[in-house]
Structure 1
């Protein structure tokens, strides 16, 4: 028999998120999620979840509504915390707004939906 020094890689899940823990490790990231939800017909909602708690969501909402000429509100969710909802599909607009305003870095934004 021949002994080979080959290292067999362990199972790797490319779709798994980085392990997030409360220690504030460098690998742990706080993502901002932009989602679109279909309502009735062509109507839809854009929801923004994961903004840091030190931001005043009411002021951000006011600026978003003024910038994109749409209506919206802040909703309190049991699991997700406070979520901003806007009328229409505003995912790309909101992404650019958050980056330009310096609220979130571009690599920490995840856009979901169809």
Structure 2
């Protein structure tokens, strides 16, 4: 059984370049053979600014978008983030997506 690698497109802006970069990387990872690489697009989850009433470490998710994002992240063994730079910082969509979850990221590269 090969490890599952998620290549996560972190920009959600119109006109973004991330999908083409992520697709290139994912294809290269699949050719390498050590991983089963999967493309994941943050835009598909439509995560609003963090809106869960409970702390993420409790995993008491109330919203469907959080449950879907949790299932996606939990299913992988490792991650590559395709991140644009906005104002010398990571994009808010990336920071928000990280903050939605806690346990799902633990002990994974």
After TM superposition, the score normalised by the length of structure 1 is 0.31
* Greater Rg over alpha carbons, structure: 1
After TM superposition, the score normalised by the length of structure 2 is 0.31
Q: Which has the higher strand share?
A: 1
Which structure would you say has the larger RCO, counting Cα contacts within 8 Å and 6 or more residues apart? 2
